[in-house]
Amino acid sequence: MVGIILASHGGFAEGIHQSAEMIFGPQDEFESCILKPDEGPDDIKRKLNEAVASFDDQTEILFLVDLFGGTPFNQAASLVADHKDKWAIVSGMNLPLVIEALSQRFTVETAKEIAQAIVPVGNEGIKIYPEVVSASETKEKTLADNKKSAKIPEGTVLGDGKIEYVLARVDTRLLHGQVATGWTHTTHPNRIIVVSDKVRQDKLRTNMIKQAAPNGVKVSVAPLKNMVKANNDPRFGETRALVLFETVEDALATIKAGVDIKEINLGSSAYKEGKVNVTKALSFDQTDVDAIKELQNMGVKFDVRGVPSDQPANIDDLIRSAEKKLAEKK
């Protein structure tokens, strides 16, 4: 595995390191080094050497640094000079770039290949909201959108005519960092579908969800009836869908309506009055418990994880914990 070291002026590298693991889960061979205001080049070089020495495999090392030509970059470059065939540096570090590097090393075995792959993602992660575009860009985008949305004749069968559900997740936050990065990179969908009558009626929230779309993945916000139509429409046969539900009840209603989902990833369920905490991320009330049990009776399996690297929790243990705590509240 390629070792990754973040380096920066001040605490920037430590902050991004923490943010990346919050989204992607704890990582091996992943360190951060910072240059404090009262430190000099020798100090950051010593820290970089210590980080390299902490790795089990030091063959391939990728340094991600904040500023080209700055002291962290220069000291990393002095180390890379002796390993030019194996080590590499990318400057202009941001969170999308770091997350992409962590994702790439699952399938890519060299630092230089990862370096080449992550730069476009880092650039793409820089956006303006509300979006500001020139008249020519608007025209080009409209033409491209029109081409993409050219209507496929009804009755056309694409692929095997059925949506492939790569992940169905219950998450109060819907599309956020853990989903847009960790789960998207793990399951490789070409479309994310948020199924919610409530969210579909909220234009602002719908737009914000679409703005959070990962690179190369389409995002739709659909009411339940439209999700059922899409499920039965053979024109969606080449769709690899990551489906997001705000609640277990929404998932139950969708599956009862005929959408062919066999497993649910239970990611988060926010606390509110009447619920009890069963984990840091999950809170249930009796309605939630009843919905989970009904889904189990229908043969639906549960995968209880926040991020792909988490150890799955046992859903039956969580149900028993919730029922005990709910009974104590009465």
| Residue 17 annotated in active site | no
Question: Which amino acid, one-letter code, is at 329?
Answer: K
Catalytic residue of the set 17, 83, 176, 185 = 176
Q: How far apart are CA 206 and CA 180, in angstroms?
A: 15
Contacts of residue 299, Cβ cutoff 8 Å, sequence gap at least 6: 262
32: closest CA among 46, 53, 18?
A: 18
Catalytic residue of the set 9, 17, 185, 188 = 9
- Give kind and range of the element (H or E) at residue 265: strand 263-268
3-state secondary structure at position 268: strand
Cβ 40 vs Cβ 97: under 8 Å:
no
Q: Taking each helix axis as running N to C, give the angle between helix 12-24 and helix 95-104, from 0 to 180 degrees, rounded to the nearest 10.
A: 50
- Bridge partners of 167, per DSSP, are 242
**Joined tokens for residue 6:** 């973040």
CA angle 50, 51, 54 (to 5 degrees): 85
Cβ 302 vs Cβ 292: under 8 Å:
yes
- Bridge partners of 169, per DSSP, are 244, 265
**Joined tokens for residue 279:** 């984990």
Q: How many CB atoms lie within 10 A of CB 195?
A: 26
Q: How far apart are CA 45 and CA 37, in angstroms?
A: 15
Q: Lay out the sheet containing 88-90: strands in order across.
A: 30-35, 3-9, 61-65, 88-90
**Residue reference for tokens 């080209």:** 68
Q: Give the catalytic positions in this structure.
A: 9, 176
